[in-house]
Copies of this chain bind each other. A is one copy, B any other.
Amino acid sequence: MIEQEEVSPLTLNRLSFYLRCLRHLQELGIKRISSQEMAQRYHLSATQIRKDLAQFGEFGIRGVGYDVNALADHLNSLLGLDRQHAMVIVGMGNLGSALAQYLGFNYGAFHVVAGVDNDPKKIGRRVASFVVRAAADLQDVVRESGAEIGVLAVPAEAAQENYDALAEAGIKGVLNFAPVRLKRRPGVPLKNVDLRINLEELAFFLR
């Protein structure tokens, strides 16, 4: 087993993608799949699949392939998706409100339980399953809601101070939608979401 720190963001991205493929195979009722078949079906590299999975244990049987359900369960637990993660959204403008209602953010392991803003017009408003609280009360909101993950949906210029505030409130990880590079704190992993990367992939096909 390798240490968490040694896993690259691209490997994690691939593991998450493999899990998605496996869930698709489950929907199709497929019980076993070889790395070759999986690679072909989802345009991946069979060598890469075997190498990535071998980092975390022995899953496949040569000539037989992977047990789809067992591998899906294993990746699910490896990615920490076998338990609930409560989230607080900082910044309840259009993006924050959209994320609060986004199915992917309220399904399976993830649930938005709270949202804060510093705009008095937004505070007290009901969004999805919660009432927007004051950003100044972030510490209390995190403690009362049990939120572990903070989602930054604030303008770029407000992102650093809010990341720091989340770290001080005891948040364990931050997902940042603000298009800005933040100074990280040790022990508070930060994942930047850059929606542009999706456009760049699409643009390739429009050349």
Q: Which residues of A does B touch, CB under 8 Å?
A: 4, 7-10, 12-17, 19-20, 43-45, 48, 78-81, 85, 87, 93-95, 97-99, 101-105, 107-110, 148-149, 156, 172-175, 179, 189, 191, 193-207
Contact = CB atoms under 8 A, between A and B. Distances in A.
B8 A43 contact: yes
A40 B16 CA distance: 22
Nearest to A19: B200
A196 B110 contact: yes
Contact of A13 (B20, B101, B201): B201
Q: How many copies of the chain does the oligomer comprise?
A: 2
A195 B96 CA distance: 13
Contact of A81 (B16, B43, B99, B203): B203
Contact of A195 (B48, B102, B172, B197): B102
Contacts of A173: 202-203, 205-206
A20 B201 CA distance: 13
A80 B207 contact: yes
B105 A199 contact: yes
A203 B17 contact: no
Contact of A94 (B97, B189, B195): B97
A204 B78 CA distance: 7
Contact of A204 (B20, B79, B105): B79
A175 B199 contact: yes
A201 B95 contact: no
A105 B175 CA distance: 19
A10 B44 contact: yes
Contacts of A99: 195
A51 B48 CA distance: 12
Given A16-B200, A189-B202, A179 B8 contact: no
Given A81-B200, A98-B93, A105 B205 contact: no
A164 to B, nearest CB: 18
